């Protein structure tokens, strides 16, 4: 009973209403049944605190709703740290991707040399200086690397949370100029759609995990729903053409699940207000089911 489902019902890292309803949508899609089917306690183990809408203002156009992001990611980092300390596997559902500032900060306090697999169409490596939108969901990896506003880089302590060689991108295909500059300067490992097509996801995941194992003690998967092909995810805020298809997404999950040092996963950017039905949440729930299935022999799932 070691999977700990943690919800992060918030949207302050981006501008479209709806991601705050992501966790409820995934629950409605059957998340508790999925947990039960895989022998896990069908409960919400924790929920990150979220400021009310009227408490959050859009003061700085290059750091929109900063106060709202700081509040939730600070709370989340404590929840994630404590969950991992209890030998549980944090399974997070969001919420927009800025939540990863808290996830990474929390995990890193327990695992100083943390590895990250970032499944996303985007680099999420912007800073207030480079961001085209001012949305903090485009910044969490820069923050983890120690770049960006101090209120964000200080969550979980002032040390740098992530080393560039401990990060791998899967599915990247929409990168801003400042992000590309950072990728090049820091030599960050990228597997784009071209690489996935020509080499196959199996080979890529084997290589990615072997690469992380060289210098990290454990890793987690951050799964942005917009990494998937837009035909699969109507309910996510920033869809990008030519994305990852279902079989390849499952291959990512399977390779992660097979590793003993796989310690957490998050599914983010589910926005049920952007579609008629609940398709994207249903898909997130299905993928979580696949992940738990693949993890049935995992040391943290007893």
- The whole-angstrom separation of Cα 161 and Cα 266 is 17
Position 138 contacts ligand DIR (CB under 6 A)? yes
- The whole-angstrom separation of Cα 263 and Cα 259 is 9
- The whole-angstrom separation of Cα 38 and Cα 116 is 25
Binding positions for Mn ion, rule: CB under 5 A: 97, 120-122, 124, 163, 215, 224, 226
Rounded least distance, CB 269 to ligand DIR, Å:
6
Interface region with ligand DIR, contact rule CB under 6 A, candidates 134-142, 164-172, 204-212, 270-278:
134-142
Position 126 contacts ligand DIR (CB under 6 A)? yes
The single residue of 96, 179, 229, 269 carrying the catalytic annotation is 269
Q: Nearest-CA neighbor of 118 among 51, 191, 181, 175?
A: 191
Rounded least distance, CB 170 to Mn ion, Å:
12
Q: Which residues contact 20 (CB under 8 A, 6 or more apart)?
A: 9, 10, 11, 50, 95
The single residue of 97, 166, 255, 298 carrying the catalytic annotation is 97
The single residue of 71, 77, 122, 298 carrying the catalytic annotation is 122
Burial of 125 (0-12, 13-18, 19+ CB in 10 A): buried
Position 133 contacts ligand DIR (CB under 6 A)? yes
Map the footprint of ligand DIR across residues 225-244, applying CB under 6 A. 226, 238
Position 98 contacts ligand DIR (CB under 6 A)? no
> Which two three-digit tokens encode residue 74?
């600070």
Question: What SS3 class is residue 262?
Answer: strand
Find which of ligand DIR, Mn ion, none residue 215 binds, CB within 5 to 8 Å per kind: Mn ion
Residue whose CB is nearest to ligand DIR in the complex, by number? 138
Q: Which residue in 176, 229, 248, 266 binds ligand DIR (CB under 6 A)?
A: 176
Phi-psi region of 264 (alpha: psi -120 to 50; beta: other; left: phi over 0): beta
- The whole-angstrom separation of Cα 253 and Cα 288 is 9
- The whole-angstrom separation of Cα 188 and Cα 169 is 8
Position 2 contacts ligand DIR (CB under 6 A)? no
Residue (16 or 250) nearer to ligand DIR, CB: 16
The DSSP letter of residue 115 is E
Rounded least distance, CB 237 to Mn ion, Å:
8
The DSSP letter of residue 204 is H
Position 135 contacts ligand DIR (CB under 6 A)? yes
Active site residue 247: no
Active site residue 149: no
Active site residue 120: yes
Contacting positions for ligand DIR (CB under 6 A): 97, 120, 122, 124, 126, 131-133, 135, 137-138, 176, 224, 226, 238
């Amino acid at each position: 009973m070691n999977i700990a489902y943690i919800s992060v019902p918030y949207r302050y890292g981006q501008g479209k209403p709806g991601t705050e309803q992501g966790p409820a949508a995934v629950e409605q899609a059957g998340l508790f049944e999925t947990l039960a089917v895989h022998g896990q306690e069908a409960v919400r183990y924790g929920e990150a605190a979220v400021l009310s809408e009227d408490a959050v203002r859009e003061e700085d156009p290059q750091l929109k709703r900063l106060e709202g992001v700081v509040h939730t990611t600070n709370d989340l980092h404590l929840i994630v740290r404590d969950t991992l300390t209890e030998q549980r596997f944090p399974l997070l559902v969001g919420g927009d991707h800025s939540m990863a500032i808290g996830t990474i900060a929390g995990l890193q306090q327990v695992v100083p040399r943390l590895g990250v697999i970032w499944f996303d169409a985007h680099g999420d490596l912007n800073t207030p200086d480079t961001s085209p939108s001012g949305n903090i969901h485009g910044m969490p990896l820069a923050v983890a690397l120690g770049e960006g506003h101090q209120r964000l880089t200080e969550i979980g302590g002032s040390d740098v949370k992530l080393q560039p060689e401990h990060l791998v991108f899967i599915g990247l295909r929409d990168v801003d100029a400042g992000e590309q500059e950072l990728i090049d300067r820091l030599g960050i490992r990228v597997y784009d759609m071209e690489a996935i097509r020509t080499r196959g996801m199996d080979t890529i995941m084997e290589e990615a995990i072997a690469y992380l194992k060289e210098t990290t003690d454990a890793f987690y998967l951050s799964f942005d729903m917009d990494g998937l092909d837009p035909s699969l995810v109507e309910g996510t805020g920033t869809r990008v053409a030519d994305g990852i298809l279902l079989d390849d997404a499952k291959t990512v999950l399977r390779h992660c699940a097979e590793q003993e040092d796989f310690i957490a996963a998050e599914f983010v950017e589910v926005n049920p207000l952007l579609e008629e039905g609940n398709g994207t949440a249903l898909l997130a729930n299905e993928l979580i089911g696949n992940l738990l299935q693949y993890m049935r022999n995992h040391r943290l799932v007893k």
